[in-house]
Structure 1
Amino acid sequence: MSEVTAVFAPEGALSKALPGFQPRPAQQQMAAAITQLQKAGEQLVVEAETGTGKTFAYLAPALLQSGKVILSTGTRNLQEQLFHRDLPQLRAALAPRKVAALLKGRSNYLCLNRMEQVIRYPGEVDSEILAQLQIIRDWANRTKTGDLGEIAELAEDSPALPRVTSTIDNCLGRECPQYEDCYLVKARKEALEADIVVVNHHLFCADLVLKDTGFGELIPAADLIVFDEAHQLPDIASQYFSETVSTRMIVDLCKDLQLLYRTEVRDARPLSQIADQLERSARDLRLTFAVDPERGNWRDALATEQTGVAVQRLADMLQRALDICRNLLGRSKELDQCYERLDLIHKRWQLLQNTQVTGYSYWYETTPRHLSVHRTPLSVAEPFGRQLEAQEARWVFTSATLTVNGSFTFFNQRLGLGLTPAKLHTLVLDSPFDFQKQALLCLPRYLPEPNSRDMSQALVQLVEEVVAANHGGTFVLFTSHRMLQLVAKALRNDTDRLVLVQGTSSKRELLNQFVAAENAILLGTSSFWEGVDVRGDALRCVIIDKLPFSSPDEPLLQARVEDCRLKGEDPFAAIQIPQAVIAMKQGAGRLVRDVNDRGVLIICDNRMVTKQYGQTFIASLPPMQRTRSLAKALEFLRNVE
């Protein structure tokens, strides 16, 4: 027995150190597979279904091996859970001398220089932002890490936070007067010296692409890189291989230019004037789009006269701002940096107007106040695969949902894995749960078609019948906010149970209320389909309104579909079905989280039965009992102890 598999044995280190630890064969198998990666560039892709214990399975070899390890998670919440809960448990048992560090993106750390500037020159801000800035200032006197997540009084989307954090564009680096005290610099120094660094996919991809100062030194030094929740990686990587310009980016730059005019270059009146004109041009461009937030095809938007004129006016203002800033170079380090930011935005804006270049999706997205325009590669396989080949590291990609009908092809192709086939290894680890006894899959008869006008009322009736039979909690997962709101409105009037609706509070607060109630109804969309771990009576039934196909008018999907057709392939089979299957597996995975869990999964979409591709979905789900009778599903719920 190898050293790493021995720690999972009945009398091994983990059984002795962790109360209630139960050895799992799948855990040992995954840990052994990671240990067997010997050569730089080798890749291991592991689908470890719920209950296999994949976190401990990669942490053990990470702690026992020599050399640096990078662990990347899907979200900041999972990153903190791994660093503060799981990693300390195993480190104490296996390698207490190993040093671990938590590293987040720069927007998570207080920038002392920008805080000082905004407090001294707050500009035109309302009383709410001023109050939030005071909270940050008070906290700044106490914090040791500068991690803004420590401030419980502020929401994650607080408008004060961007004012006291830096971006890669406006950070002064070593030229900053606060460089020696910089929290980001300190965090990166700790990461450089640590044996194990816990990051998230957004940070990893951002620094991989941007070669951001500091973290870029970590990647070549890592001997082992592990991606948990790896199914999220292709979409996250797409964001960071994109070229983007947003009106928010331009407005923020203009505010910095106005601050420089008021403080360091007071004689440069043209600087203030062009900053005002540039900001107005950015805001005018946003006004050429509908008031309500939307996504759309940038090529189509450019073709409209009103938007086309506004786009050209913004380009002219960017050029004029560049000319004015160029004449002021050398008078201020901050101004020199603003010039570089302006030059980058100008070049990207020119790029985004040349929509004839193929191989990319050109799309836009609006919020109530801003517009962002993107040029996204249709595939990140080539650039991401090239980066993997260039790094002297061993790679592990793991998640509970990576295969479609037993195959890794869709996931591997999206990331460019296996460019050297001899270096690619795959492993599927089945869940230890007895799904035949623990769970029932119900595909109810007689429901309306998914897009029928009658579907919302049918869903309300079904949920009410389920709740009447279910003494535990119920998740209702939707593919659209519109359907969620229709069902939520009806349920609030028709049931005495606690009804929790996504958007009315934070995700964490909603889940805390749901678990505490033990018989509540929670209605959620995409963010509740994954990363949610509720055990026991608190969750006994998961209802999914329909198959989670991406919206056909989603610009990036449209571009990928068109590209797939040009290659002579079937985009529905090659792209849309695999994406939906992985999303469905994530949603279904909320039901059974423990060996003692029992419950019912109800999928309210006739296409699971009437369409041939429905079999692909069913084959990818856990091997539960199946029925088309809602009455049998309700009886199963009534008998759950």
Structure 2
Amino acid sequence: MTNAALPATELGEFFGPGGALSACLERFAPRPEQLAMAEAVAACIRNRSHLFVEAGTGTGKTLAYLAPLLLAGRPAIVSTATRTLQDQLFHRDLPMLGRAIGRPARVRLLKGRRNYLCLHRLEQALITESPGIPTADLARVSAWAERTRHGDIAELAGVSEQSPVWPRVTASADSCLGSGCPRHADCHVLKARQAARGADIVVVNHHLLLADMAMKGDGFGDLLPGADVVVIDEAQHFPDIAQLQLTRSLGSQQLRELLQDAAAEAVAAGAATAEITASAARIEPLLAQLRRLLPGSGTALAWQELPPDCLPELEALLDAVGELAAGTAAARDASPGLRRCAERAARCRSLLEELLDEAGQAGLRWLRLGKHSVTLNLTPLDAAGDTGALLAAADCSWIFTSATLAVDGDFAYFGRRLGLTSAEGRLIPSPFDYARNARLYLPPGMPDPGSAGYTAAVVAAVRPVLEASRGRAFLLFTSHRALREAAGLLRARAANWPLLVQGEAPRTRLLEQFQRQRGAVLLGTATFWEGVDIRGSDLVLVVIDRLPFASPGDPLQAARLAAVERDGGNPFREQQLPQAVLALKQGVGRLIRDYSDYGVIMLCDPRVKTRGYGRRFLRSLPAMPVLDSAEAVRRFFAEREAHAS
């Protein structure tokens, strides 16, 4: 690790009036908050320490961490939760900063394996039957394979991202043959990794970074050894993604892919296929029957909630997977591909054995139900400890940043979830003037959120506020049931605003319609609480129906609560409350997105006033005046719009 120091004066000049950054940005305005964050990041790099930074909306946090990285000249990784931010960093922010600094950075955008064509799997698909795969799509992929340099499947616009051809011609960590692959020398994933080693900054996502941290051998787990600094943006998602990355899973699609691969590899190697075919004939009906016996879709199910009829099916599945493992093991020496299939089948059998062993559980057993699929999962009970061990094993500085990391100014909850307690915490406030431009409305007389008529009371309280705002609102709900009830109540009495309801159109289309239709009102659940950036007067009201406490019925949430209690802690105070505070901050953050934005947050849940813990929610929000009547809301909007005109 190099020891380059970065003087604060250099950063001050860079971010200051007439500095290098101002010459590259049309609407540049110096922000003390941005400079404060940049100086904290620079100190972390200089001291080889760890840092948590909560940066309020409008801070300009991406430039605040990217500039110190580039000026320090140290190899770094930047990881995000979303593709949108990845693209912004790679295509806009980093090239612009390179011009400002005067030395273009060597930057690589690195994606997971499933984003790159696997030449070996393409060859297998071309020489064996591939039921369910459109022949036209396979032909297009085959022709493109002859001319592509990078193998990034995003290059091929003529084939839909949803086409079933892609799982067949891309590799997962499970199916990749690594150094044993016949096309290893031409591997697009390996070439992308090798190119990344010489970069100043590598942009990745959290899933890829965590997979890399956990992987050894095969020349793939090699990102971190070359990095002095790792920045985790959108860090509020990192603990949950880490927990899922540490989870061992066996899904119906995973088994079907294994059966398909084993058959293709056996045909290519001239090996016997009878046992593999027989295993497939047993496994397919068992998977279908198992899914029929399980209720719901898009949900998580605790193992204890399994219908009794499922256990015999799982025992039969274990027996059938055992046959597949034996059949592939017998042919493993025929080719590297069959050897890999044998290893995969053995891992599937081992995980099923662990899941069905009632006596020796070392983790949380649960299921994820898709529309036509089921995934069995085994999650470590101490996911935070395992995550902390992965972080500690990397000899680099860790910087975690987001607009929502701290609870009442404290980073302890986030640090516990990461298993990282040695980081400094910095709170960087938003530069936006909430005291002038925003109001928090707490409607009086609301019933208890657990009462039968609560959602009807929310709708009744919202109507006069929507009249005052002339629509232009997000109504954010904590459950789909409440959303559907509210939509029905609003439609029952003719509304003066276009109503857009989650589930009635794709998310992107709803957001486009919201901005196109003047005065629209959008009703949404969790997917609209974050990652939505609507600026200007199209959105002036955000209504939140109740405090967003996570359901204790979720298996992973139940496991976290049990772990806190097992360690002698208070599950509500140490897990449920801080988790809900951070979720509320995300929802509130939808309102003020720019200096000229204005509006009202309407928080309907009376517990924010009647319960002692309500003060923790209020103290965690940006400071703004509180209103106690719909008439006060009406006056606020009237004054703002009179001023604007």
TM-score range, shorter chain: over 0.9
* Counterpart check, 1:381 vs 2:369: no
TM-aligned CA deviation for residue 132 of structure 1: 5.1
Counterpart CA distance in 1 for 2:102 and 2:632 is 51
Counterpart CA distance in 1 for 2:587 and 2:159 is 30
Q: 1:133 to 1:613 in 2, by over 3 A?
A: farther
* Counterpart check, 1:220 vs 2:219: no
Residue in 1 aligned with 2:55?
Answer: 48
Bigger shift: residues 199-208 or 628-637: 628-637
Aligned partner letter, 1:631: E
Counterpart CA distance in 2 for 1:28 and 1:367 is 46
Residue in 1 aligned with 2:415?
Answer: 412
Structure 2 SS opposite 1:2: helix
Residue in 2 aligned with 1:289?
Answer: 294
1:111-141 CA-partner distances (Å, limit 9, x unpaired) = 3333444355453327xx5565566556656
- Structure 1 residues 94-109: aligned runs within 5 Å: 94-109=101-116
TM-aligned CA deviation for residue 144 of structure 1: 4.8
* Counterpart check, 1:306 vs 2:309: yes
Residue in 2 aligned with 1:334?
Answer: 337
Flag structure 2 segments of 5+ consecutive residues without an equivalent: 1-7
* Counterpart check, 1:390 vs 2:389: no
Specify which of 163, 170, 178 is matched with residue 173 of structure 1. 178
Residue in 1 aligned with 2:3?
Answer: none
Counterpart CA distance in 2 for 1:266 and 1:379 is 43
Structure 2 SS opposite 1:536: coil
- Structure 1 residues 103-252: aligned runs within 5 Å: 103-125=110-132, 129-130=134-135, 133=138, 136=141, 144-150=149-155, 157-211=162-216, 213-252=218-257
Q: 1:157 to 1:579 in 2, by over 3 A?
A: farther
Whether the 8 Å CA contact 1:585–1:620 is kept in 2: the answer is yes
Q: 1:353 to 1:634 in 2, by over 3 A?
A: farther
Structure 2 SS opposite 1:600: strand
Aligned partner letter, 1:272: T
Aligned partner letter, 1:578: P
Q: Indicate the RMSD between aligned Cα atoms, in angstroms.
A: 2.5
* Counterpart check, 1:354 vs 2:373: no
Q: 1:394 to 1:408 in 2, by over 3 A?
A: same
Counterpart CA distance in 1 for 2:265 and 2:337 is 8
Bigger shift: residues 179-188 or 371-380: 179-188
* Counterpart check, 1:401 vs 2:404: yes
TM-aligned CA deviation for residue 444 of structure 1: 0.9
TM-aligned CA deviation for residue 296 of structure 1: 2.0
Residue in 2 aligned with 1:569?
Answer: 569
What's the TM-score, normalizing by structure 2? 0.92
Q: 1:226 to 1:274 in 2, by over 3 A?
A: same
Structure 1 SS opposite 2:73: coil
* Counterpart check, 1:76 vs 2:83: yes
Aligned partner letter, 1:603: L
Counterpart CA distance in 2 for 1:229 and 1:291 is 31
Counterpart CA distance in 1 for 2:409 and 2:123 is 55
Tell me the number of residue pairs that the alignment of Structure 1 and Structure 2 aligns: 633
TM-aligned CA deviation for residue 466 of structure 1: 3.3
Counterpart CA distance in 2 for 1:164 and 1:280 is 25
Counterpart CA distance in 2 for 1:211 and 1:505 is 43
Residue in 2 aligned with 1:596?
Answer: 596
Residue in 2 aligned with 1:28?
Answer: 35
Whether the 8 Å CA contact 1:50–1:400 is kept in 2: the answer is yes
TM-aligned CA deviation for residue 232 of structure 1: 1.1
Bigger shift: residues 207-216 or 579-588: 207-216
Bigger shift: residues 468-477 or 440-449: 468-477
Structure 2 SS opposite 1:217: coil
TM-aligned CA deviation for residue 579 of structure 1: 0.3
Structure 2 SS opposite 1:245: strand
Aligned partner letter, 1:105: G
Structure 1 SS opposite 2:249: strand
Aligned partner letter, 2:242: A
Structure 1 SS opposite 2:612: coil
Residue in 2 aligned with 1:607?
Answer: 607
TM-aligned CA deviation for residue 381 of structure 1: 2.7
Aligned partner letter, 2:482: M
TM-aligned CA deviation for residue 576 of structure 1: 0.2
TM-aligned CA deviation for residue 97 of structure 1: 3.2
Whether the 8 Å CA contact 2:212–2:223 is kept in 1: the answer is no
Counterpart CA distance in 1 for 2:418 and 2:567 is 19
Whether the 8 Å CA contact 2:468–2:633 is kept in 1: the answer is no
Bigger shift: residues 249-258 or 480-489: 480-489
Whether the 8 Å CA contact 1:254–1:279 is kept in 2: the answer is no
1:612-637 CA-partner distances (Å, limit 9, x unpaired) = 11111111111011122123223323
Counterpart CA distance in 2 for 1:368 and 1:600 is 38
Counterpart CA distance in 2 for 1:430 and 1:187 is 38
Residue in 2 aligned with 1:538?
Answer: 538
Residue in 1 aligned with 2:495?
Answer: 495
What's the TM-score, normalizing by structure 1? 0.92
Q: 1:474 to 1:305 in 2, by over 3 A?
A: closer
Q: 1:511 to 1:141 in 2, by over 3 A?
A: farther
Aligned partner letter, 1:466: V
1:424-460 CA-partner distances (Å, limit 9, x unpaired) = 3221111111111110111112333323332333344
Aligned partner letter, 1:535: R
Bigger shift: residues 614-623 or 147-156: 147-156
Counterpart CA distance in 2 for 1:137 and 1:463 is 56
1:199-248 CA-partner distances (Å, limit 9, x unpaired) = 11111112212347445222011011111111111111100111211222
